[in-house]
Structure 1
Amino acid sequence: MGDEEYEDLLRPLLLPQLTYSRDEVLLGKPCPIPASSGLYAWFFDEVPPVVPVPERLAAVPWKVLYVGIAPKPVPRNGARASRRTIRDRVKEHLRGNAEGSTLRLTLGCLLADQLGLELRRVGSGNRLTFVHGEQVLNDWLDAHARVSYLAVDSPRDVERVVIEREYLPLNLSDNRHNPFFEELTRIRKDAKAAARALPVVANPSGRGG
């Protein structure tokens, strides 16, 4: 994909005229994110303290730190293909928990000291969430996160190109070239290990557990 083609295709995602807040996505009627396949990009006006920001991005008020897709690629093991849409996934990131959202897991681990979050095993002990801290993370997303989208038929192919070309420190898949990859991998691994060493806590009521 040439530079001009890339810029034309990705402009609505990476340089959008509109981005959407948590309330706009969850309460909007209709929801501004379509129920289609595609990509979504997360913009933040506050970067977690340990995440390095290149000098060229330092003055950018809202920085793109993560992209995702829906549906997931067709499993190679013959399992049923996902039918989830970008609307489904964006809403899951905004109101779900760390077990179902890799973005929430990453943000919670990076903001643990700042927000007083702790990853724990819940319920049967097989699931990891920030328990009541998921609501704290919701409040942080309310204040500091915005999302854009790009509806495309083959999102995985486009996602690979975006991750290769852009500085996306919160992505792990296909992103080993990013200078924050090893540190983020370690932070998440350590948080999971610490959670598994602690007793299981009761599954809280509501969506946060």
Structure 2
Amino acid sequence: MYGSLLAAPDRLWTRGEVMARDCPVPAVPGVYGWHFTAAPSGELPAGRLLYVGISPRRMSERPSSQHLRKRIRYHYRGNAYGSTLRLTLGCLLGLELRRVGSGTRLTFTHKGEAALTEWMHEHARVCWIEHPEPWTVESALLQELDLPLNLDQNRHNAFHARLTALRAEARRRARELPIAT
């Protein structure tokens, strides 16, 4: 049920709409899906759902401050250190991953993150479904849908090994370079 709602939504939202003051994304738990008008790699299809995420990751005894609006906005404007989606897209687009700060965080630095944000502005579209316990549907979505950009719980996907290797190589190269200023 949720898979079809994410794969063929009634509406996809742009970065401009999500980042606007009157943001349509609710501040509640749920599942979100990323569609791309252009593929981040020639090995992937364009114009369809390639990644799903949830927010919050899992409820603990204390309430989470994470919700759909925060998480989706972060993917659109954050950095690769805090967004596995941004890390994946940047690696697929050939951006150079670098160590920053104390050297433990990896991002595409200011120029690379800005290029990724612009690419997402042009090509990334998002939809979402409100769900009080999104972690309860995540595994089923990963089994039901072909989601090549998801790694966690998705080893069965044909693109998993390629994406895992690509991200590992980007991390290895970043650790060999000096810390970016």
TM-score using structure 1 length: 0.81
- Which residue of 99, 102, 108 maps to 1:121? 99
In structure 2, what residue type is equivalent to 1:64?
Answer: L
1:78-125 Cα deviation digits (max 9, x unpaired): 8x563200111101100000000000000000001xxxx210001111
2:58 aligns with: 73
1:46 aligns with: 38
1:10-62 Cα deviation digits (max 9, x unpaired): 444222111110111001x3211100000000000111225344xxxxxxx62
Q: Distance in 2 between matches of 1:52 and 1:137?
A: 17
In structure 2, what residue type is equivalent to 1:171?
Answer: N
Q: Distance in 2 between matches of 1:168 and 1:51?
A: 13
1:104 aligns with: 86
- Which residue of 10, 17, 24 maps to 1:24? 17
Cα RMSD (Å): 1.6
Q: Distance in 2 between matches of 1:12 and 1:34?
A: 17
- Which residue of 156, 168, 174 maps to 1:189? 168
Q: Percent identity?
A: 46
- 2:174 partner SS: helix
- Report the CA distance shift for 1:81/1:200 in structure 2 as closer, same or farther (over 3 A): farther
TM-score using structure 2 length: 0.93
- Report the CA distance shift for 1:148/1:93 in structure 2 as closer, same or farther (over 3 A): same
Q: Distance in 1 between matches of 2:147 and 2:85?
A: 12
1:125-171 Cα deviation digits (max 9, x unpaired): 11100012100001100111100000011111211111101000000
- Report the CA distance shift for 1:188/1:50 in structure 2 as closer, same or farther (over 3 A): farther
Query: Tell me, which stretches of 5 or more residues in structure 1 are unaligned?
Result: 1-5, 54-60, 203-209
1:53-79 Cα deviation digits (max 9, x unpaired): 4xxxxxxx621000000001246xx8x
Matched, 1:133 2:73: no
1:205 aligns with: none
In structure 2, what residue type is equivalent to 1:26?
Answer: M
Matched, 1:147 2:140: no
Q: Distance in 2 between matches of 1:19 and 1:179?
A: 26
Runs of 4 or more, structure 1, over 4 Å off, are none
In structure 2, what residue type is equivalent to 1:140?
Answer: W
1:173-197 Cα deviation digits (max 9, x unpaired): 1101001111111100010010000
In structure 2, what residue type is equivalent to 1:125?
Answer: G
- The answer to whether the 8 Å contact 2:3/2:145 transfers is no
User: How many matched pairs?
Assistant: 180
Query: Tell me, which stretches of 5 or more residues in structure 2 are unaligned?
Result: none
Matched, 1:171 2:150: yes
Q: Which moved more, 1:9-18 or 1:129-138?
A: 9-18
In structure 1, what residue type is equivalent to 2:54?
Answer: I
2:77 aligns with: 95
- 2:32 partner SS: strand
